[in-house]
Amino acid sequence: MTGELFGRPRTQLAPGAVLIPDWLDAAEQRELVTACRRWARPPAGLRTVRLPGGAQMSVRQLCLGWHWGVVSRCPTCGAARKAAADCPQHWFPYAYTRRVHDGDGAPVKPFPALLDTLARRAVAEAYGDAGTCRDAEAYGEEGVAGAGSAVAGVVGYAPDVALVNHYAAGARMGLHQDREERIDAPVVSLSLGDSCVFRFGNCRTRNGPWTDIELRSGDLLVFGGPARYAYHGVLRTLPGTADPELRLGEPGPALSGRLNITVRQSGLSGAPETPRKPASA
């Protein structure tokens, strides 16, 4: 952004949570925005998400690799309740499936090589060759908590799912944990377009303490290890802050709003196509 004499420094928001500002260059941002526009087309394109209570999320979303959404029953056992001790792969009220079970029913688009490459590079840069929470040297500060501890899922990291969120003006995302994955591998988050105020909390409670930061276009956030299950959310976007040059592909209007891509490793090898009815029904 203009007016800044020095670049924003790499920061550790919490042990295991690494922010690398301006990680994507302008060409990479353009390439990703163009790809998002392509992925957003039906079938299995951008959709409005309904939450379990029936409310509509202000953010619109599409999924790649695996489809994430609200289910009325666990797709594995068919039960409509939070816990089922006898179901080894129990999900409720959110699940990963292979079809857009809460939308047009189409098969989810494949997880793209572009995101695989970027996410692997992101994890390597966040945690270094040793796959650990980095030391003071990496942050230019002393006594970084958690320095040197191994981050789960870095060795053998193999991302296979991405959620792409579009924030029009006024959209936000409430505090939540990313916890539908079956493996503790880090989450990689890429921001494009308008800046936002992002809240990053702790793993125990949604009631803080929090760190509020501005995420701008091109910024990378990776959270894994001790920060993997931290509560986080988007308080608001800052409409009009996107670089007008960031176009949504040719031909097309400039990007309006904010895009965020979170890349994850599901830990799944197979799952039912769609939620099924309970065995007794």
Ligand X SMILES: O=C(O)CCC(=O)C(=O)O
Which residues of this protein are in contact with ligand X, per CB under 6 A?
Answer: 163, 165, 173, 178, 189, 198, 232, 234, 260, 262
Residues 259, 254: Cα–Cα separation, whole Å: 13
Annotated binding residue 176: yes
Residues whose CB is less than 8 angstroms from the CB of residue 4 and which lie 6 or more positions away in sequence, other chains included: none
Binding-site partner at residue 198 among Fe ion, ligand X, none, CB < 5 to 8 Å by type: ligand X
Positions touching Fe ion (CB under 5 A) are 178
Element spanning 262, H or E: strand 258-264
Binding-site partner at residue 165 among ligand X, Fe ion, none, CB < 5 to 8 Å by type: ligand X
Using CA atoms, how far residue 174 sits from 98, 120, 134, 244, 281, in Å, is 25, 27, 29, 28, 35
Q: Which residue is nearest to ligand X (CB)?
A: 260
Annotated binding residue 232: yes
Output the smallest distance, CB 232 to Fe ion, in A: 6
Radius of gyration for the alpha carbons in the chain, expressed in angstroms and rounded: 19
Binding-site partner at residue 154 among ligand X, Fe ion, none, CB < 5 to 8 Å by type: none
Residues 241, 234: Cα–Cα separation, whole Å: 16
Q: Which of 69, 115, 107, 124 is nearest to 91 (CA)?
A: 69
Output the smallest distance, CB 228 to ligand X, in A: 12
Output the smallest distance, CB 231 to Fe ion, in A: 9
Output the smallest distance, CB 13 to Fe ion, in A: 14
Match 């830990």 to its residue by tokens: 267
Annotated binding residue 67: no
> Between residues 77 and 232, which has the closer beta carbon with respect to ligand X?
232
Binding-site partner at residue 12 among Fe ion, ligand X, none, CB < 5 to 8 Å by type: none
> Between residues 31 and 178, which has the closer beta carbon with respect to Fe ion?
178
* Residue 101 near residue 77 (C-beta atoms within 8 A): no
Which string of DSSP letters, residue by residue, matches 162-230? EEEEEE-TT--EEEE-----SS-PPEEEEEEESEEEEEE--SS-TT---EEEEE-TT-EEEE-GGGTT-
Output the smallest distance, CB 196 to ligand X, in A: 6
Binding-site partner at residue 189 among Fe ion, ligand X, none, CB < 5 to 8 Å by type: ligand X
Binding site membership: which residues?
Answer: 176, 178, 232
Binding site membership for Fe cation: which residues?
Answer: 176, 178, 232
